[in-house]
Each structure stands twice: as C-alpha cells, then as structure tokens.
Chain A
C-alpha cells in the first residue's frame, strides 16, 4: 500500500494550555506501547468531521522515551479549514481516534557538539520532544523561544524549570527580538541550527544563515504548509479513471482519498515530497502552496503536491 499504516488510539487527556492551545494525550487502544520515535517527529491525526475525513500533521511534543503516552499541542486557527477547530471543539477525553506512525522530517543531527534552536509560538512543540531526548543523552543545546506575550508562551514555565538558563525567552509585546545575526555569527564549529515557527521566522533564518556563510547541511527547519480553504474545483485522475470534486474546505488529497484513491503521502504539509503528482494537462492556474517543488518545477506546470496545493480553472488531469 502507498499510504502509511495507522494506529487506533484513545484520547486519555485533553488539557487547556492557554486561551489558544490545547494539549491532547493519546494511548494505544489495545494497551500496547506506541511506536518509538525520535525528537522532531510528527504524527498524522485523522479526524472524521462529518462527511470530511481530515488528516493533519502535528509534531509530537512528549518524551521520545515514553511510548505509553503521545502528546500533541494544537493551536486554534479560526481562519483555517476547520481541523484545529475540530480538535478543540469535538475531541474529548475517552474518544477513539486514529493516528499515523511517527515520521521524522526534523531530526537532530546527533553528531553535533551543539544544537542551536529557534522556536516561534506553537513551533515550540518539536523542540519539546528534542529537548527531552537531549537531556537524556546529555546533549548540548540552547533554545531561543519567541512568543507574543506571557499568556501565550506555552510551556515556558515547564522549560524554565527543566532547562534553566539554556532557555532564552522573547516577548513580542515587550519589543524583545531574537538577535539572529549575533547568535549565528558566534557559534562554535560543528553547531547545527534548527528553526520551527511562523513562515517569516523560518525564511529569515534561512536567509541569514545563507548570507553569513553557514553550510546548508547544518541548518534544519520544520515547515508544514497548511492546506488552505479555497474555491471548489474538479480534478480528473487518469490512472484511477475517476473525476473528483474538491470542496471549499477539503484538500485535493483528502478529496482523492474520499473517492477511494490510495494516494501516497507522508507529511501532508508540502514538505516531504511523497505525494508529488504529475500533471498531465490543465487549462488554468496551479496554486502551489508546498515547500517541495523548486521554481523550475512550478513554472513547468507538470507537477503538483495535492496535500496542500489547489487549482483554479476548468480542467485538471493528474497521473494518479
């Protein structure tokens, strides 16, 4: 089969972290241990929201040493397609859900003598798991965590207690900013840098590391694109011989799955490349939202990532 296997889980706790963020705990329905994972891994959470089956990636934030309890934190997005609202409003303790196996597209380079971490807002979650792993292995790290204000600074107190002065916190409402250039100019040989947060923060770190002369292979980022809502459109799947309507609040990949097409995927956030699909023909505009295809591939109009990208036009034929 082309899609990853799934695990039946039960929601063991739902915790209000702050006014925007809830934390969800999962245990295996059959009582067995969950699969081991490494810090930075994410899982896909399946949500049966009425007619719609959504599958959304969330970083695991719990300890990679604990295979009895997976934890994710979900920030409510009132403008999204409804995945986070579903998690916030529908998911309750005791509910049965289905998740995918953990996949890591943001792993630590364990050879590094030092890990320099930049987190923005909810982007803290993969670092929480990585830090637990690094504490257990006596790793050397430094976390720079930027948040809007004290109330929305999720897990700051917990981090302050466990990592002490390795935590550096920056509050937007106090005009505190991470001094990226200073930090990026003073790191000892072998350091790896990691960034997860809002798009402008990730892009800034990628731009500054390149301009200052950092080798690309020492720079890591977790960047899930969001499948955004959009105008409905129709897609013809030539290999499956099906025509699928993609609704306003579903992704092309979700629409294919709803039609019974077993399309490949891994991250569902335009980052991993698994769902890359050939475009046979189209007469409109491919609305690329992924971080996978390069500029040439986008211009060619021959490839699309159905997990996050959409289409505007009357005819789109895919090799799927």
Chain B
C-alpha cells in the first residue's frame, strides 16, 4: 500500500545535527549509532569541553558498537554511563537533568525511540523540548500509540502495524505526541475488518 502523505503534519518531530554550544555543563544521551554523533561533535570542541560533561550511552548491540564505545570512552568524561536499553537509561537521564543547573545544554542522538523518550524525560523535568539538541542516527522504528485503546507498541517497523494491546490493525501516522513519545496509530480497516492490507517494512 502507498504511504499516506503526512508531510504537512506539524507534530512530526524534526531533528538537526548536534553542535557544541557554550555552556557550563553538557549532558549527552545517545543509543547505538547515536554515539557516533557525539564522537563527531567531539572533533571540533574547545579543549576541556568534556571535563564538565556527562554521557549516557545505550549500547543495545555491543558487537556492532565496540568502536563507538571505545571512542566515547576516550573522551574521558567525568561521568559516563553505559546500559543495555533505553528504558534502563531513562531514570539516569532524569536524575542527571534534575541535578543540572539551567546554564547547561542537553544533546540527544540516536534512534527515533531514543529521541522521543529522552525528549519526554526532559519535558517531565520541566525542560522545554525546544531547548534540546537532537540528531537522528540509526533505527526509524516507532513507538506507536493506538488511539483506540491508548496502548503503546514499541519497535514498530511496518505499515500497517498491529496493536499489541487490542489487536486492531493500525495505520501509523506522522501525527506525534511528545507527551507520550509516540506516533499515533489509527485503525485502518474499521469499515471492513475483513479487508487486511499487507504489512510493509517502512520504519527501518
């Protein structure tokens, strides 16, 4: 099936490229390929930049990320955390933000899920989402909220996708909720449930 034209959807987050901004403290949060964005930023920063920085790195595929991890460790950040999943890292991010003073910058890089969940965590700590720098690297897999049952399905790569909670077949939209860190999924065959469009891998 063809992709709906969601290009005009304003809520769909747009990401940029990380760039160092003068600040008293720098907080980085990345997953997998996102670590490379930090490594690249580090090539053009003032001396001692990472002396007042913290890196939270989600390394879900250690076999693939060994080079990135080594490069991140070489930055000699006074605080560096490495963990296996985004969800394991979020409480750490939340604590680090709540300890931070406002003369600080937050940089998020990585998969669609990392960007969304870290942004949500920062917002819960009362940081405006526009205050964050973001850069997409790696997976486009989406967190999808079913607008019917409100359940959230992680790692959605297909269009349409099945809701893991209520089982409805969902059209995954670009319509996005920052509060839930999820794209919205709307039942695709409400009129005729016997009509079952084929799933295509589109968010990879």
- A residues engaging B (CB < 8 A)? 109, 111-113, 184-191, 193, 209-218
Contacts and interface: CB of A to CB of B under 8 A. Distances in A.
Nearest to A184: B103
Interface residues of B, number: 21
A212 B22 CA distance: 7
B128 interface: yes
A140 to B, nearest CB: 11
B148 to A, nearest CB: 29
Contacts of A193: 102
Nearest to B106: A215
B184 to A, nearest CB: 23
Contacts of B101: 185-189
Interface in B115-129: 125-128
Contacts of A111: 126, 128
Contacts of B98: 188-189
A215 B22 contact: no
B105 A215 contact: yes
14 contacts: A111-B126, A185-B103, A189-B125, A190-B102, A190-B125, A190-B126, A212-B23, A213-B23, A214-B103, A215-B102, A215-B127, A216-B131, A217-B131, A218-B127
B131 A212 contact: no
Contacts of A209: 103
Contacts of A188: 98, 101-102
Contacts of B99: 189
A213 B104 contact: yes
Contacts of A214: 102-103
A134 to B, nearest CB: 15
B29 to A, nearest CB: 14
A140 B100 CA distance: 18
Contacts of A213: 21-25, 103-105
B97 interface: yes
Contacts, number: 65
Which residue of B98, B101, B105 has the most chain A CB atoms within 10 A of its CB atom? Answer: B101
Contacts of B132: 215
Which residue of B24, B105, B128, B132 has the most chain A CB atoms within 10 A of its CB atom? Answer: B128
Contacts of A185: 24, 101, 103
Majority secondary structure of chain A interface residues (helix, strand, loop or mixed): loop
Contact of B128 (A113, A184, A212, A215): A215
CB-CB nearest 8 A-B residue pairs: A213-B23, A190-B126, A215-B131, A212-B103, A187-B102, A217-B128, A213-B103, A217-B130
Nearest to B132: A215
Nearest to B96: A189
Nearest to B23: A213
Which residue of B21, B99, B126 has the most chain A CB atoms within 10 A of its CB atom? Answer: B126
Nearest to B25: A213
Given A185-B101, A188-B101, A213-B21, 7 more contacts: A184-B102, A190-B127, A212-B24, A213-B23, A213-B103, A215-B102, A217-B128
Contacts of A217: 128, 130-131
B96 to A, nearest CB: 9
Nearest to A181: B103
Interface in B60-106: 97-105
Contacts of B23: 212-213
B135 to A, nearest CB: 17
